[in-house]
């Protein structure tokens, strides 16, 4: 009888430690993998968490990489494919709020000289956005061949060239002064 109970306990622990087919946050299924459009490059979910502001859930941020890692420095210095998926939870986020977020996040995480060097591409990037509403998804995909592509609800909005630009963007979430330490931790595979 004791052996049977121990086996059931071990089996239940094994089952609860296996990865699920999709991560669920706030009733939203976050896929385990993404494929970069126009390629066969498959990326796996590195981690995800909720971006909160003033006790409000704004969006779920999910990071996809070729292989999982908890090392932010390695991600920020990489040159390979990657993707950030933002699933919005808040009723509406205006275009100005989104673009102000990119601008402020970059200013917090890169030098003035780096910001100035990226200014024209940042302006181009900001022009790709529109107001989003609850349930909308923004995907920011980096393909070393074609640059940083933006899609809103699977609609291609445009792209910006340069690995340096994409890695600077990632600093908004993974840099020394991230938009949220809980979101950074979650995107690096930790618990929200």
pLDDT (tens digit per residue) in 26-73: 678 999 999 999 888 899 999 999 999 988 999 999 999 999 999 999
**1 has a pLDDT exceeding 60:** no
Write the CATH number of the domain with boundaries 32-187: 3.50.70.10
Query: Torsion angle, CA of 24/188/76/45, rounded to 10 degrees?
Result: -40
Domain positions in the chain: 32-187
Query: Torsion angle, CA of 85/92/56/30, rounded to 10 degrees?
Result: -20
pLDDT tens-place string over residues 100-149? 999 999 999 999 999 999 999 999 999 999 999 999 999 999 999 999 99
């Amino acid at each position: 009888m004791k052996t049977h109970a121990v086996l059931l306990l071990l089996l239940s622990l094994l089952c609860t430690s296996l990865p699920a087919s999709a991560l669920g946050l706030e009733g939203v299924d976050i896929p385990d993998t993404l494929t970069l459009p126009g390629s066969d490059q498959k990326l796996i979910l590195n981690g995800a968490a909720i971006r909160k502001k003033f006790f409000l859930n704004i969006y779920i941020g999910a990071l996809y990489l070729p292989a999982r890692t908890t090392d932010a420095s390695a991600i920020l210095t990489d040159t390979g494919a990657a993707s950030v998926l933002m699933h919005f939870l808040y009723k509406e986020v205006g275009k100005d709020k989104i673009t102000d977020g990119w601008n402020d996040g970059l200013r917090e995480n890169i030098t003035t000289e780096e910001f100035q060097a990226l200014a024209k591409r940042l302006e181009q990037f900001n022009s790709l956005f529109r107001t989003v509403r609850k349930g909308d998804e923004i995907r920011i995909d980096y393909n070393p061949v074609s640059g940083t592509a933006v899609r809103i609800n699977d609609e291609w909005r445009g792209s910006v060239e340069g690995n340096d630009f994409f890695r600077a963007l990632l600093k908004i979430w993974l840099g020394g002064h991230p938009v949220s330490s809980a979101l950074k931790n979650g995107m690096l595979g930790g618990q929200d």
